[in-house]
Amino acid sequence: MSKKFRLQGLTVYSFESIDPSQCSASAHPQKHDSTTAFSIQDTTEDTKNTVTVSEIATRHLRRLKNSASDYLGKQVSAAVITVPTDFTDAQKAALTEAAKNAGIDVLQYISEPIAALMANDRKNVEKPVDKTVVVADLGGTRSDVAVVSIKGGMYSVLATAHDYNLGGNKLDEVLMEHFAKEFMKKNKTDPRENERSLAKLRLESEAVKKALSLGNSAGFNCESLADGIDFSSTINRSRYELQAGKVFGSFIRFIESAVEKANLDLLDIDEILLSGGTAHTPRIASNLQTHFPETTTIIAPSTSSNTVNPSELTVRGAALQAGLIEGFSHEDVEQSTHPALTVTPHLKEAIGFVVGSENFKPVIPAETPLPVRRTLQFTNSGDSQGVLIRFCEGTREIKVTKPEPKSNSNKPTAANGDDADDEDFSDDDEEEEDIREKVFKVGTILGELALKDAKKGSKIQVQIQISADLELQVSAMEMGAGKPGVKGVVPGSAQTNGTH
């Protein structure tokens, strides 16, 4: 059983440290003994009950457990739970206690972006691909972004960003504002001034938002919206996207800020995986396609028909993880997830080689966990006297090329020899954007190997292996020549800037 959820205040922190703004859309927190609680009416009686956050969490988990048990036809007693990347140990301890009270044994906690990637990359388990992915979890009330480096099937979180006030509810508010104004054009009443009317307006606006994610237009229909007046209206997707332009821009800037936090460029991002309910909005994916380079793949329902439902990504990942560890004891899981095993050194710079005057060839990219071994082949373009291979570090840089100015030689002229009106050719005079591309700059030279009598046009195989203590082992051989290759070892102390 798996389920993604967040509960504000599920910690042992003091009440004064709780930010009540995150609960503004529902009940308001209040101090209760040494914890946070809410006053809610959860029975048929008119009196309200005071319920702590821990009790709410227990209720929620118990309901999930019962639903899963009814669906499976057998009792569910354990679960893998996904949590945000900023979830603290105190919050995990409190959630574990709430799960225990609900009759659930927590097998493991995994972070939401890693769970989403596990579900999305399930088809590439046999042949993992090295890539850098941005996982944008766009929820209803908050958004989280993680920049994850995947090297050799291992996930490394490079940077995270959290916005507790940016979510799908901001898009709801845009539609609420639109329909409230439409209602006020025909009536003197503002439906936002009455709590019941506001709740109806919010609920129907959310339904319209979901409908606009699937179709080009949607209808708003609410019985007795305010003062007993029924209200119906329609809105098309173009108008909705125009009015919500600032909100869509906030999502783009938020994702871009996480990339900058990881000290990466937009060209370094291979994929953007959209997760969460708000990821169904087509405009967010199309804006990302426009903002990021063409080499970046946007994974969302509007860009691919076989994409996993964004609302189910993290829970599917948790289910996959539960299937992997269900046969292990708690002690085995704890030992395998201990920091001594999971916190490994990573390469700070790419490691590769240079042959003659050719460009740097990266073999092991930056942020690769150690130990690692990679192999690459290249064609000998030099003479047959030998090949000198220099192994070195490579620093990624962004090369910006200014586009060449357009020539005016083909510009038509009028009958009197003067240039025709510029207005007729304004579309051709638009300034082209700079061309940006990734290039590598050779850094520290780590060692050299020489292959004698290597034939021109022959295939040369190079292998680089780096141990956890930074010892570098390199080898090179001419394929099909029947001659032994050459090997070399560089002690770890020789690499002064190899890892971090």
pLDDT in tens, 105-125: 999 999 999 999 999 988 666
> How far apart, in whole angstroms, are the C-alpha atoms of residue 320 and residue 306?
19
Contacts of 231 (CB under 8 A, 6+ apart): 179, 182, 183, 220, 221, 222, 225
Cβ contacts of 209-215, under 8 Å, gap ≥ 24: 209/168, 209/171, 209/172, 209/175, 209/240, 209/281, 210/280, 212/237, 212/240, 213/280, 213/281, 213/282
Give the pLDDT of residue 130.
Answer: 86
Average pLDDT over residues 211-233: 93
88 with 175, same domain?
no
467 part of a folded domain: yes
Between 463 and 153, residue with greater pLDDT: 463
91 part of a folded domain: yes
362 part of a folded domain: yes
Of the residues 56, 79, 103, the one at which a domain ends? 103
Structural domain tally of the chain? 3
92 with 201, same domain?
no
Average pLDDT over residues 325-338: 74
359 with 477, same domain?
yes
Q: What phi-psi label fits residue 75: left (phi over 0), alpha (psi between -120 and 50 degrees) or beta?
A: beta
CATH number at residue 361: 2.60.34.10
> How far apart, in whole angstroms, are the C-alpha atoms of residue 5 and residue 428?
52
Return phi, psi of residue 226, to 5°. -155, 140
Counts for the chain of helices (H) and strands (E), in that order: 11, 20
Give the pLDDT of residue 14.
Answer: 62
**pLDDT band of 202, cuts 50, 70, 90:** very high
177 part of a folded domain: yes
Give the pLDDT of residue 126.
Answer: 63
187 with 99, same domain?
no
> How far apart, in whole angstroms, are the C-alpha atoms of residue 146 and residue 322?
22
Q: How far apart are the first and last CA of the chain?
A: 37
Give the pLDDT of residue 178.
Answer: 96
Let me know: does 38 contact 54? Beta carbons within 8 Å: no
Give the pLDDT of residue 9.
Answer: 44
CA separation, residue 214 to residues 67, 237, 241, 276, 281 (Å):
28, 10, 13, 16, 8
Give the pLDDT of residue 39.
Answer: 84
Answer whether residue 237 shows pLDDT above 90: yes
**pLDDT band of 313, cuts 50, 70, 90:** very high
294 part of a folded domain: no
Coil, strand or helix: which one is 33?
Answer: coil
Give the pLDDT of residue 397.
Answer: 85
> How far apart, in whole angstroms, are the C-alpha atoms of residue 174 and residue 244?
6
Of the residues 47, 71, 103, the one at which a domain ends? 103
Answer whether residue 431 shows pLDDT above 90: no
Between 51 and 427, residue with greater pLDDT: 51
> How far apart, in whole angstroms, are the C-alpha atoms of residue 252 and residue 258?
10
Find the helix packing angle between 195-212 and 168-186, rounded to 10°.
Answer: 120
97 with 224, same domain?
no
**pLDDT band of 40, cuts 50, 70, 90:** confident
94 with 220, same domain?
no
Of the residues 214, 245, 276, the one at which a domain ends? 245
Average pLDDT over residues 323-350: 74
Give the pLDDT of residue 166.
Answer: 92
468 part of a folded domain: yes
> How far apart, in whole angstroms, are the C-alpha atoms of residue 38 and residue 26?
10
241 with 364, same domain?
no
Contacts of 359 (CB under 8 A, 6+ apart): 439, 440
Q: pLDDT tens for residues 462-495?
A: 999 998 888 899 999 888 877 888 898 888 744 4
Give the pLDDT of residue 416.
Answer: 55
Q: Positive or negative CA dihedral for 144, 149, 154, 157?
A: negative
CATH number at residue 207: 3.90.640.10
83 with 184, same domain?
no
390 with 483, same domain?
yes
Give the pLDDT of residue 248.
Answer: 96
Residue among 312, 308, 336, 310 at smallest CA distance from 324: 336
Answer whether residue 421 shows pLDDT above 70: no
215 part of a folded domain: yes
Q: Which of these ranges, 280-294, 444-458, 479-493, has the smallest mean pLDDT? A: 479-493
Q: Strands, DSSP E only, in 341-479?
A: 350-355, 361-364, 372-379, 386-401, 435-452, 459-466, 472-478
Coil, strand or helix: which one is 71?
Answer: helix
Give the pLDDT of residue 50.
Answer: 86
Answer whether residue 429 shows pLDDT above 70: no
Answer whether residue 158 shows pLDDT above 70: yes
Answer whether residue 373 shows pLDDT above 70: yes
89 with 194, same domain?
no
Beta bridge partners of 450: 388
Between 449 and 494, residue with greater pLDDT: 449
172 with 90, same domain?
no
Whole-number mean pLDDT of the chain? 84
CATH number at residue 39: 3.30.30.30
Give the pLDDT of residue 6.
Answer: 46
188 with 67, same domain?
no
Give the pLDDT of residue 19.
Answer: 65
Let me know: does 338 contact 140? Beta carbons within 8 Å: no
Q: pLDDT tens for residues 57-100?
A: 999 999 999 999 999 999 999 999 999 998 888 889 989 999 99
Full domain range(s) for residue 180:
168-245
**pLDDT band of 326, cuts 50, 70, 90:** confident
254 part of a folded domain: no
